[in-house]
Amino acid sequence: MRILIYGMGGMGGIFHRFFENRGYFVKGYDLNPDRSEVSYGEIDGFDVIFLCVPMDEIENALEDIARKNRSALIVDISTLKNLAIPHLERLGFDYLSIHPMFGPDSEIGLSNIIVVHESGREEERVILEEFRRAGAIISHISVEEHDRKMAEIQGTAHFLLFLFALTLRGRFGKAYHYGSPIFLVMHKLASRIINQDWRLYYHIQKNAEELRKEILENARVLDEIMKDERSFKGLVDELREEFDDYRDSTIVLDAYKTTVNAEGIDMLRGYIRAIDSLVLRLIEKRVEAGRKVAMEKLKLNEPVEISHVEDVKLRELVTKTELNPVMVSEIFERLMKLTKEEEYRILGVRKKVAVLGPPGSFSEETALKLVGSRLPLIYQSKVEDIFLAVESGKADYGIVPIENSLQGTVLQTLDALLRHDVEVFAEYESEIRHNLVAKKRLPLRDIEVVYSHPQAIAQCSEFINNYLPHAEIRYTRTTSEAIEMLDDRSAAIASELAAKLYRLQVIKRDIQSLTSNRTRFYIIRRSGGSVNGDESLTCLFFGVDDRPGALYRVLEVFYKNGINLRKLESRPAGTRLGDYIFFAEAEEKLGENIVEEIKKRTTFCKVAGFFRKVDRLDVFTG
Ligand SMILES: NC(=O)C1=CN([C@@H]2O[C@H](COP(=O)(O)OP(=O)(O)OC[C@H]3O[C@@H](n4cnc5c(N)ncnc54)[C@H](O)[C@@H]3O)[C@@H](O)[C@H]2O)C=CC1
Ligand SMILES: O=C(O)C(=O)Cc1ccc(O)cc1
């Protein structure tokens, strides 16, 4: 989906950043060439055009667009719909008409977005879903109702602020030092709208002429009521029934302090104190919201950690500030961690599990199957890092692939298992289903590039050779990293979970070469964990002298004790060429005497774990 922002002013800038941060192809066009990224001649190459010009310019702009591109979906964001919709209808555009109820430098999260018209196109669904995911509150009303409501909402608020300014004009100058909190906030808001484009506020007031008459009438009525104590009390009692939510209004007022131009050491100290206590209150609010999120996730059975959402959030935050991006990311990561800890506490989750990430990987899919979906996951980009996370205590458990029915042993896992102070305590076998996914529905012949992890590519080679012989293969470190590379002409091989998480289209399901493509995972923990008693398997490393029969003498121990070996691998010892270390899996929990016997016959022996097959992993106890 190619998005053009038509009019790169305050609102255009917001939508440009919003969609760019989410990985969309976005360009800006403006009459002012300094703000333009494409020329007028190029506007035909876009599927969606966000119309972000001032209301007086909407008609001209739509005429210009119609000359070049009639097929794009127009997104109208105008404040008043009677100024935009007749032109959209007349010119026969497909259009989505919304009213973002926020100004140019506001945050979209928790902002209201009113939808007044939809055309039914797929792009609309995607756009509204992105807003919803960013935490905007979306509601639907008719065009007529919208303009009526705007008279009540914006017409009233702005009129009263202008009235406030008009009444106080010349009385205070810049003497803010004796202002009360409410006065100061109103003064600030009046100044805000007075300093914006007067045409916008003129249109809003033009739409509110009827309502202004009511305001003036009410002012007279109020004046009369206020002359009499009892009637005033009566009015207040009545109003209280409707205007009852003043919770946290102090936060609104205290937030004003952060906007003060503090000067001099004493005032600056006070300023910083005010900011710190506000920041603390806001952090508490964030954590409180996390608790509620946990309860919601419990209802929906969703994972606590959806790191890619956090990545998007971090990226967006960093683009909004001039401060050191690394430090800002760190602070917010800590904040997210604090919130998440609270979520885990509410859910009763005690253990953290490290898996191969980013989210959407097959390892994550496996982890979710093992623990149910309420799982605190730590995503690592390499197998080695999972071992490090477990060894250092950052994660309680790690889930690592040990072998795949098509590709055989995962050597990084073997090598790491030998070197790190961790042990295997369980194994889990998972059926791996690969899917061809893309950003949108795409005929196979239009797929120019396929991204995925080398193993996934290998496992789907038959499908690729038969159906995508023309496509270029590009390897990525993980399957989900492949997803991040996607554009409109490429596809990735990924799990069903990844398709769901990243809202991708599944073009073809189950494209792996064998109908049964299974991967066995080890579940590891720090060495020295308590043995359960029902372990039925052992994995171990050993080395033998470089002489005939040395390996045979070790295998003899298994043979004599009637123990079946289901896996035997040799790995270079890393000392000199020809020196090997063996890795074996025995289908029994080896007793001490057997381990002793093996030790006698080897130059080195390390039991990497006594383990058992599991289909659940408990993260709620201990
Ligand atoms: N400012 C606000 O708080 C809100 C505004 N809106 C609506 O958003 C729209 C845009 O408002 P702002 O971003 O505040 O305006 P703005 O004045 O900040 O930006 C408008 C941009 O459009 C460009 N422009 C003007 N005529 C053009 C034309 N014919 N073709 C191409 N570019 C043209 C201008 O050069 C400017 O860069 C308006 O319809 C407004 O009602 C909606 C919600 C809030
Ligand atoms: O909150 C207000 O009323 C504003 O002043 C910002 C604003 C202005 C115009 C809109 O269409 C939406 C929001």
State which of 125, 140, 155 marks the end of a domain: 140
* N residues, the chain: 622
Same domain, 122 and 49: yes
Nearest CA to ligand 1 atom 4: 103
Is 6 inside a domain boundary? yes
The answer, yes or no, to whether any atom of ligand 2 lies below 6 A from the CB of 103, is: yes
* Residue 286: C-alpha distances to residues 40, 252, 295, 312 (Å): 44, 16, 15, 18
Domain harbouring 500, CATH code: 3.40.190.10
Task: Tell me the C-alpha distance between 268 and 262, whole Å.
Answer: 5
What is the tens place of the pLDDT at every residue in 286-337?
Answer: 999 988 887 887 777 665 555 556 777 778 788 888 999 889 888 998 898 8
Provide the residue type at 143 as one letter. V
The answer as to whether 319 is a domain residue is: yes
Instruction: Provide, rounded to the nearest whole percent, the portion of the chain with pLDDT above 70.
Output: 95
Residues 512, 534 within the same domain = no
**Number of folded domains in the chain?**
5
Residue 64 shares a structural domain with residue 122: yes
Domain co-membership, 133 together with 155? no
Assign residue 319 the CATH number of its domain.
1.20.59.10
- What is the distance in A from the centroid of ligand 1 to the CA of 46? 19
Could you tell me if 113 and 174 lie in one domain?
Answer: no
Spatial CA neighbour of 55 closest among 117, 11, 114, 15: 11
85 and 174 assigned to the same domain: no
Residue nearest to atom 4 of ligand 2 (CA): 103
3-state secondary structure of 596: helix
**372 contact partners, CB below 8 Å, separation of at least 6:** 301, 616
CA–centroid distance, residue 147 to ligand 2 (Å): 13
Of the residues 347, 374, 389, the one at which a domain ends: 347
Looking up residue 553, the CATH number of its domain turns out to be 3.30.70.260
Residue 217 sits in the same domain as residue 320? no
Q: Are 488 and 554 within one domain?
A: no
371 domain residue, yes or no:
no
Q: Is 103 found in the same domain as 77?
A: yes
480 lines ligand 2 (CB under 6 A): no
Average pLDDT over residues 407-426: 93
pLDDT(590) > 60:
yes
User: Which is it for the CA torsion 278, 284, 290, 295, positive or negative?
Assistant: negative
Which residue, judged by its Cα, is nearest atom 23 of ligand 1? 7
pLDDT higher than 90, residue 379: no
Residue 153 Cβ contacting ligand 2 at under 6 Å: no
Specify if 621 maps to a domain.
Answer: no
Q: Is residue 449 part of a domain?
A: yes
The more confident residue out of 156 and 351 is 156
Q: Which residue has the tokens 């205290």?
A: 254
Query: Measured in angstroms, how far is the CA atom of residue 419 from the centroid of ligand 1?
Result: 61
Q: Using CA positions, which residue lies closest to atom 16 of ligand 1?
A: 9
What 3-state DSSP class applies to 289?
A: helix
Q: Read off the pLDDT band of 459 (50, 70, 90).
A: confident
Residue 210 counted as domain residue = yes
Kindly state whether residue 400 falls inside one of the protein's structural domains.
no
Residue 325, judged by CB atoms within 10 A of its CB (0-12, 13-18, 19+), counts as middle
Q: Which residue is closest in CA terms to ligand 2's atom 11?
A: 79
- What residue numbers bound the domain in which 299 lies? 265-347
Assess whether 128 and 33 both reside in one domain: yes
Cis omega (within 30 of 0) on the bond before 358?
yes
Residues 169 and 228 in one domain: yes
| Domain annotation covers residue 373 | no
Q: Which long-range contacts (CB under 8 A, 24 or more apart) does 7-11 make?
A: 7/51, 7/52, 7/53, 7/54, 7/57, 7/61, 8/32, 8/35, 8/36, 8/52, 9/35, 9/52, 9/53, 9/54, 9/104, 10/103, 10/104, 10/105, 11/52, 11/77, 11/100, 11/104
Residues 81 and 210 in one domain: no
CA distance 427 to 470: 39
Residue 427 DSSP SS3: strand
Say what the ipTM of the complex is. Answer: 0.98
pLDDT score, position 373: 59
Cα 215 to Cα 171: distance, rounded to the nearest angstrom: 24
Does residue 207 have its Cβ closer than 6 Å to ligand 2?
A: no
Domain CATH code at residue 115: 3.40.50.720
Q: Report how far residue 290's alpha carbon sits from residue 342's, in angstroms, rounded to the nearest whole number.
A: 7
* Number of helices followed by number of strands (H, E) in the chain: 23, 22
Q: Which of 204, 225, 240 is the last residue of a domain?
A: 240
Mean pLDDT of all residues belonging to the chain: 91
